[in-house]
Chain A
Amino acid sequence: MNEIAEYIIAALLLVGGFFTLVGAIGLARLPDFFTRLHGPTKATTVGVGAIMLASVLYFSVSHDGIGISEILITVFLFMTAPVSANILAKAAMHIGVKSMDDTRGKPWEQ
């Protein structure tokens, strides 16, 4: 494996790890359910995206052929993360989870 690829892979892993960590910190620090919901959807987008890119690069350089399955995993994650966030938000509004006091605007009733 050449050296430049190694540096790029290491940098991508660091970036991915950083954003996943920030997502976890957000989950612990943010004040109410709806703001905490932003953590998991966001950590997956950049964090998982960067880690997957590193994995694709690593396997393309060390073995022959690009890792198409990693790209597919990323695509599936990007497709399912918004759906789960949407269902969580809907369920929270349905059972009337309280949002933090200075939230402006109201969730509607249906």
Chain B
Amino acid sequence: MLDRLNFPQPWLSLLLFAIWQFLSDGISGASVVLGLFLAWLIPQITQGFWPERPGFIHPWRMPVYLARVLMDIIVASVSVARLILSPRAPSPMFVCYPLELEHPLAISILASTISLTPGTVSADVSDDNKTLLIHALDAQSEQEVIDAIKTRYEKPLLEMFK
């Protein structure tokens, strides 16, 4: 029992504790106790889902990346709104995207980014983690979609996780 009393992922525990304090109205004795308990319990339960530690090399690049994604979301959602309201039919396309990223966490960040930016949804990852299947709402050519994602999102992620 005593060997269970540890924090296998200190950063995750710290994050959970901080989030719990923000979610409860004001810091009190009860919220600190419950926060500590959750910060211990949740990493214990989810330990099996983290086969390897996520390794950030350049975490300070993250805010720049997030700002760029936010800008792209705003610009692209205007064009998708225009497409939905215009009478012409969209020309959708399935795109097989060749992944350069290897880290599972990096791939899931890229897939989430693709789904959040309007016009593209990531549908599946191949079993060998080498290809991403993307559904584009309105695309001219496969190469255009691949190039846009590669330069805008995958390059910065590659630098972050190298």
Contact = CB atoms under 8 A, between A and B. Distances in A.
A83 B137 CA distance: 18
A58 interface: no
Interface of B: 19, 22-23, 73-74, 77, 80-81, 84-85, 89-96, 111-116, 118-119, 121-124, 126-127, 133, 135, 137, 142
Interface string A70-110: 00100000110111011001100100000110111111101
A103 B84 CA distance: 17
Contact of A26 (B19, B84, B89): B84
Max chain B C-beta neighbours (<10 A), residue from A19, A82, A108: A82
A8 interface: no
Interface residues of A, number: 41
A102 B126 CA distance: 24
A46 B74 contact: yes
Interface of A: 18-19, 22, 25-26, 29-32, 34-35, 37-38, 41-42, 45-46, 49, 68-69, 72, 78-79, 81-83, 85-86, 89-90, 93, 99-100, 102-108, 110
Contacts of B115: 41, 81-82, 85-86
B118 A89 contact: no
A106 B127 CA distance: 17
Given A45-B77, A82-B116, A25 B89 contact: no
Contact of A110 (B89, B122, B124): B124
